[in-house]
Homo-oligomer: A and B are copies of this chain.
């Protein structure tokens, strides 16, 4: 196996920056598990795979892919993980057509989520509930941020995320628009059996006022204790679990 050149290592370093990712329309996934998910979900997007001797991919037949060897110490240098899991891959940007599937009950909308760990976890949670589309406001954290990718645990390959002018997009959507707010109807009591949009607000600010104006219903997860708010990804999980049910 050819050893990864200095040039390749530098490119990977650069892809940690949003600016460079945009310029190249490329991004990085790290660790055997995620690289394997990329191989099975989006093989056509893989530009390069770098793996160490310890990687499960090292002895796998990756015919047709550009595979390079890297030492554990070089991987440590270019990785953004504390304990890199033996491989890293460079991928072309994923497709995002935003063709709405009317048979899908829920489209998830993120209004300004800032924390990459939260956003990755939201993508993973959406995937668990079978949601294939997330629409995000333009000030939402970058989908290709390393922490988003890693905390999504591979769900980025199954959930498409589209960044839009959110008030405008909501204006044009014919779906029922539901927003999670600290004050609204008890989410456990509402019955939603039609195609809808579920809006989750940002960690600090909640849903922005221009988006709030477009909502049909505000729902809230009833609070029984002292916490001021729920973490954004936890709130998403609870709201999706409720709205996914067909209530009678």
Contact = CB atoms under 8 A, between A and B. Distances in A.
Q: Give the number of copies in the complex.
A: 2
A179 interface: no
Contact of A235 (B151, B225, B231, B237): B237
B234 A221 contact: no
Nearest to A187: B241
A124 B237 contact: no
A127 interface: yes
A14 to B, nearest CB: 22
Contacts of A128: 221, 223-225, 227, 229-230
Interface stretch (A16-24, A72-80, A152-160, A167-175): A152-160
A66 to B, nearest CB: 27
A29 to B, nearest CB: 16
Contacts of A158: 225-227
Nearest to A233: B234
Given A117-B117, A238-B237, A230 B130 contact: no
Nearest to A230: B128
A71 interface: no
A188 interface: yes
- 10 tightest A-B CB contacts, nearest first: A130-B224, A130-B225, A234-B237, A127-B227, A128-B227, A158-B226, A238-B241, A127-B225, A121-B231, A237-B238
Interface of A: 117, 121, 124-132, 151, 153-155, 158, 188, 221, 223-231, 233-238, 241-242, 244-245
8 contacts: A121-B231, A130-B224, A151-B231, A155-B227, A231-B233, A233-B234, A234-B237, A238-B238
